[in-house]
Structure 1
Amino acid sequence: MTRTLLVVMDSVGIGGAPDAEAFGDAGSNTVGHILDARGATGLNVPNLSGMGLYKALAHSSNNAWTDAVPRTGAIWAVGRETGKGKDTPSGHWEITGLPVTTPPHVFEALDDSFPPELLDAMITKGSLPGILGNKHASGVPIMRDLGEEHMRSGKPIVYTSADSVLQIAAHEDSFGLDRLYDLCRIAREICDAYRVGRIIARPFVGNTAEDFKRTGNRRDFTMPPHADTILDTLTAAGRQVLAMGKIGDIYAGRGISEIRKTHGNMALFDLTLEAMDDLQEGGLLFANFVDFDTEFGHARDPLGYAQALEDFDARLPELFSKMAPDDLLIITADHGNDPTWSGTDHTREQVPILIKSNTLAPAALGIRPFADIGATISDYLGVPGTPHGTSILPLLGEKQ
């Protein structure tokens, strides 16, 4: 059975991007600095390291971090984004064969971030008494700072970041979850004219700042890809594309057969294992594990991030055991989010490309553009690719 599993560990970067300085991120390294934060304890990730994580880290970082235990038998590479973003859609789109050469609009002003006419349109079309926020902020602090006022006034909390994003936080009960989604749809329509990458619904619950908590009902309303990705070519060929987690949102539903969602990395792992039973011959299962980014990268929590990596790694043998003989597994990331870095935004980094196959021989593949992942998947599944990327399959021999 020939199937492909594409797993994105959201934000698990390995430093070394040659243009990191242009993004203010020179020296950032998500995995490397997590290792530093752990000190002598290190990271207990035998499955990821067995797939070549530390080899990719050392190659990307000029051996600043290496694995103390020599390992063989891996197929690994270092992924380098060629597009002009460090956000989730640009990383994912390029992985699937569509580099973003013209980045979406970013609201750069730290305060009074949004144009008055944009907010006026939201207030009028959304029948709102006004808005709170209107600045760059991290989601949890601004929720705690303005959440009580939001509940009293009925004004949603609207904020942005260094990404192309407009985020709306609102209380699930006092404001209403469906009303929040409707407001995000209104904002999506308004923001199309500004070329904003994502509108994100950030619902929360609780009664006071001390117990406010974001829920698992986040939704992303993404600007659709500007051209075809391999998801489009697969579904056009009648192939199955199972989108796990936030993948459906990232592609605005394009090129997807079925979306399956849940909240939390471990719950998503369970759902992914179940989906493998339903993945058809010639199909793609595409999963995004977002907690690394949202719960620990943006929160600047290196020790929590380390634990999340170990928890994820401990589940990988379950995934391996469910792989059919001809299945191809690719584990990668979309950008960095160094939890030791200043600020709360993503970091421009290279990423690991870790491949598991029961039929392909071990290989070190050096630095590859993100789009090579999509080209490799198209080649493996026997469908047309996009104009971007080169398959690595010709570089790989068969296992002896």
Structure 2
Amino acid sequence: MSRAFILLLDSFGLGATPDADKYGDAATNTFGHIAKWAAEQGKPMSLPALEQLGLAAAAHTACGTWAPGFDRRDGFTAAYGAAREQSTGKDTQSGHWEIAGVPVLFDWGYFPKTVPSFPQELTDKLQTLTGVPGFLGNCHASGTTILTELGDEHVATGKPILYTSADSVLQIAAHEESFGLERLYEMCEIAYKLVQPYNIGRVIARPFLGSDGNYKRTANRHDYAVPPTGPTLLDHVKDAGGEVIALGKISDIYAGQGVTRVVKGPDNMALFDRLLDVEQEAGDKSLTFVNFVDFDMHFGHRRDVQGYSQALHELDARLPEFIARLKEGDLVVITADHGCDPTSPGSDHTREHIPMIFFGPGVQGRELGISETFSDIGQTIAHHLGVKPLSNGTNLL
């Protein structure tokens, strides 16, 4: 019996890549800087499960230094290393697609960091087709901060909140009750068609609830994404008769292609609960792919170092539950899609190495070095599951 699990810690980078200076990210290191911050607070991080697997060693491979507070130097139980992105950019879709064997070798379209960010022709068409009274925002923003700033005005006026980021994305936030969830979805479907001439990768519906300046995004987020430009690992597993179980936003990122089951959860720990359920029931030749989005959404973009650290500790505390339930023939990889260094200025993603930490009952602990493409992860899983090889990447095990 062979099964595979991808546990993706969204934005958990291990240090700047050699080309990071082209992106203004030469000094970034998501994991290293969080660890440094914690040590300076007099409370060094303690991630025993991840450290035993080889997390700190993988970070050392990536950037040449040991993260403060992580002293283990040998006896790691996983095959560990780091990977550099072959795709241009540092966005969500590019990272995920490349992991699954389809690097993005073209340039996405991006909206400028100006106010307004969106072309008037685009917003005029969107307003005409949707009948809304206008828009708020129209800028680069953190998705949680902008709700605090504009949530009350949105509820009072009925004007949706439009914003973007360093990703190739147009995001629309609206109140589930006062504006309507289905109405928001319909608006995003229209926007998705309108942004295609701009080569934009995704339109994201960002529903929220609350009142009087206290607003919180709900689990009803939906991404309207451009489909991958070629068959991915997900397609290969599905075509071979295997189940592909997508937890969190994974299905949206791949535009539903290759996915056989979608499992949702409102936050990291709820998704971990769903992961444990799936782990018990997933069958032979299955691929389970989960994105723990809180690292990026709540802590990386918001530059919340303490929150990021706490979320890592919470996940590390749950990992032994997952590891104890693994079966013979299981292969797991812990990885990421890009960085989002919470100590860096601004709120954008950062161009960093990502971890490759492979473990399971049949995996021997050893160093894998640095891969020149994220696709080595997908190719290794394709080989493990015995499905058709990907068009990009090398098997590492």
- The alignment's TM-score, normalised by the length of structure 1, stands at 0.96
In angstroms, what is the RMSD of aligned CA positions?
A: 1.2
* 5+ long unaligned stretches in structure 1: 394-400
Q: Does 1:161 align with 2:165?
A: yes
1:363-378 pair list within 5 angstroms: 363-368=366-371, 369-378=373-382
Q: 2:323 aligned to 294, 315, 320, which one?
A: 320
- Residue in 1 aligned with 2:251? 248
1:352-388 CA distance string (max 9 Å, x none): 1111121232220100120000110111111112210
- Residue in 2 aligned with 1:360? 363
The number of residues matched between the two structures is: 392
Q: 2:209 aligned to 205, 210, 228, which one?
A: 205
- Residue in 2 aligned with 1:56? 58
Distance in 2, Cα, partners of 1:181 & 1:44: 42
- Residue in 2 aligned with 1:186? 190
Q: 1:261 aligned to 238, 252, 264, which one?
A: 264
- Residue in 2 aligned with 1:43? 45
Distance in 2, Cα, partners of 1:267 & 1:136: 29
Indicate the SS of the match to 1:206: strand
* 5+ long unaligned stretches in structure 2: none
Distance in 2, Cα, partners of 1:307 & 1:110: 33
1:1-400 pair list within 5 angstroms: 1-39=1-39, 40-63=42-65, 65=67, 67-73=70-76, 74-209=78-213, 211-368=214-371, 369-393=373-397
- Residue in 2 aligned with 1:397? none
**Contact map agreement 2:133 2:159 (CA 8 A) in 1:** yes
**Contact map agreement 1:243 1:256 (CA 8 A) in 2:** yes
Aligned letter for 2:212?
T
Distance in 2, Cα, partners of 1:195 & 1:266: 34
Distance in 1, Cα, partners of 2:142 & 2:332: 34
**Contact map agreement 2:110 2:167 (CA 8 A) in 1:** yes
Aligned letter for 1:36?
K
Quote how far apart the aligned CAs of 1:64 are. 5.1
**Contact map agreement 1:160 1:167 (CA 8 A) in 2:** yes
Indicate the SS of the match to 1:12: coil
Distance in 2, Cα, partners of 1:36 & 1:321: 31
**Contact map agreement 1:97 1:385 (CA 8 A) in 2:** no
Moved over 4 A (4+): none
Indicate the SS of the match to 1:200: strand
Q: Report sequence identity in percent.
A: 47
Quote how far apart the aligned CAs of 1:138 are. 1.4
Quote how far apart the aligned CAs of 1:141 are. 2.2
Indicate the SS of the match to 2:317: helix
Quote how far apart the aligned CAs of 1:69 are. 2.6
Quote how far apart the aligned CAs of 1:351 are. 1.0
Distance in 1, Cα, partners of 2:363 & 2:162: 49
- The alignment's TM-score, normalised by the length of structure 2, stands at 0.96
Aligned letter for 1:65?
A
Quote how far apart the aligned CAs of 1:278 are. 2.2
